Amino acid sequence: MPVVRSSEAVVHEVHGARFVSYASPRSGSEELCAWRAEIPAGHRAPVHTVDREEVFHLLSGELLVTLGGRTERITAGDTVIITPGVTLGIENPTQEPALSWVTTSVGLRAELADGSVLTPEWAN
């Protein structure tokens, strides 16, 4: 039974946020990836488009999430389903950090507004 201890999680710092990877092919998961995203106070992530469905669950804090041009304020306990091909923006307009749990399928790629492609290590 694969168990990933919190001390074994892999930490990535990208675009001003912190991603702590728990499930990926590197940790024994064949189909799914899961990580905790730590979004600092006042942070705005780069707008991007993902090629896989993502389930984004907010554990603590408050965020503004923009999907396909529509913005929603989400709070702890809310879940956002992100469909492939939709433009996504995430902003933390508060003075407190926000923590989320994200699950997707292995192989996720994200295209940034400038056309560059990010293949996150924590999702591959």
Q: Evaluate if residue 46 carries a pLDDT over 90.
A: yes
The residue extents of the domains of the chain are 6-118
For the four alpha carbons of 56, 25, 122 and 98, in that order, the dihedral sign comes to: positive
Among residues 52, 64, 55, which one has the least CA distance to residue 35? 55
Please state the pTM of the whole predicted model: 0.92
Structure tokens that stand for 119 in this block: 């293949």
Quick: pLDDT tens for 49-99: 999 999 999 999 999 999 999 999 999 999 999 999 999 999 999 999 999
pLDDT tens column, 92-118: 999 999 999 999 999 999 999 899 998
Q: Report the CATH fold assignment for 6-118.
A: Jelly Rolls (2.60.120)
pLDDT for residue 23: 93
For 30, the 3-state DSSP assignment is coil
